[in-house]
Amino acid sequence: MRSLSEIDTIVKRASKGVGYSWGIAEEVGKNIKLLETYGLSGLKNLNDYFNSLKSKKFQHLTHISTENQSKIPYCPIIAGTSFLDQIDELKDLVNIKIENMSYPILFLPFLSRASEIVGKKISLKIDEKIFLLNFNQNIYSNYFANEILKHADLIQISFIKNSNTFDQNEWDNLYKLSTNTFVEETDELKKSAAGAGLTDND
């Protein structure tokens, strides 16, 4: 089995070899390592995408808005890089749609990393496949097939407002139970507490 370090190194070199800058190649290396960590077929999709560059052209999405359309399929790597670069502006948008993207699995890790940067969960829908990106810590999805996903007709992205999964009553109840561990301070405890009895000779 290949190590994550090997994957990162080879992916960076291959990305540079097909024409991306070293800066973008570094990003792709991080991304494929991330996908493989989560059990998604990052390297398989990247390899197929790079092979397709020999015969196909892809549109560069350099400025992302709420609605993004192109007759030529978008490059997932340039679109992802743009998403990260513009994350401070994009985080306040309610919903972002991108139509006609090639190899969308390669776009996914850019959003996972963006989730950590802005401190918000991100909901991602790739056609009928749903992903929930949690601060770059894990990915919940109904898609874990080890297959190549060559195209997405529609990608939908939304930022999820942070909220607790419990209500105030539940919090108050647990807090009340936690007070059972509190020990009432006595003169004896004061004498035996950390630092008690020490004198300062300075």
Q: How confident is the model at residue 51 (pLDDT cuts 50, 70, 90)?
A: very high
Mean pLDDT of 44-64: 97
Q: How confident is the model at residue 119 (pLDDT cuts 50, 70, 90)?
A: very high
172, containing H or E segment: helix 168-178
C-alpha to C-alpha distance for 33 and 28, rounded to whole angstroms: 8
Output the pLDDT for position 189. Answer: 58
Q: How confident is the model at residue 202 (pLDDT cuts 50, 70, 90)?
A: low
> Is pLDDT above 60 for 3?
yes
The average confidence (pLDDT) of the chain is 92
Domain ranges of the chain: 4-160
142-178 pLDDT, tens per residue? 887 788 999 999 999 999 989 999 999 999 999 999 9
End-to-end CA distance of the chain: 61
> Is pLDDT above 90 for 63?
yes
Q: Name the burial class of residue 3, with classes exposed (0-12), middle (13-18) and buried (19+) by CB atoms within 10 angstroms of its CB.
A: exposed
For the ranges 16-20, 43-47, 91-95, the lowest mean pLDDT is seen at 91-95
C-alpha to C-alpha distance for 190 and 196, rounded to whole angstroms: 7
87-96 pLDDT, tens per residue? 999 999 989 9
> Is pLDDT above 60 for 45?
yes
> Is pLDDT above 90 for 125?
yes
What separation in angstroms does the CA of 4 have from each of 1, 48, 84, 145, 149? 9, 19, 23, 20, 22
What separation in angstroms does the CA of 50 have from each of 23, 67, 166? 17, 27, 46
Beta strands in the chain, from DSSP E residues, in sequence order: 67-68, 96-102, 121-126, 129-134, 138-141, 151-160
Q: How confident is the model at residue 195 (pLDDT cuts 50, 70, 90)?
A: low
Nearest residue to 156 via CA among 103, 111, 89:
111
- φ, ψ of residue 114 to 5 degrees: the values are -65, -35
Output the pLDDT for position 196. Answer: 54
Output the pLDDT for position 104. Answer: 98
Q: How confident is the model at residue 201 (pLDDT cuts 50, 70, 90)?
A: low
Output the pLDDT for position 183. Answer: 74
Q: Specify the amino acid at residue 182.
A: F
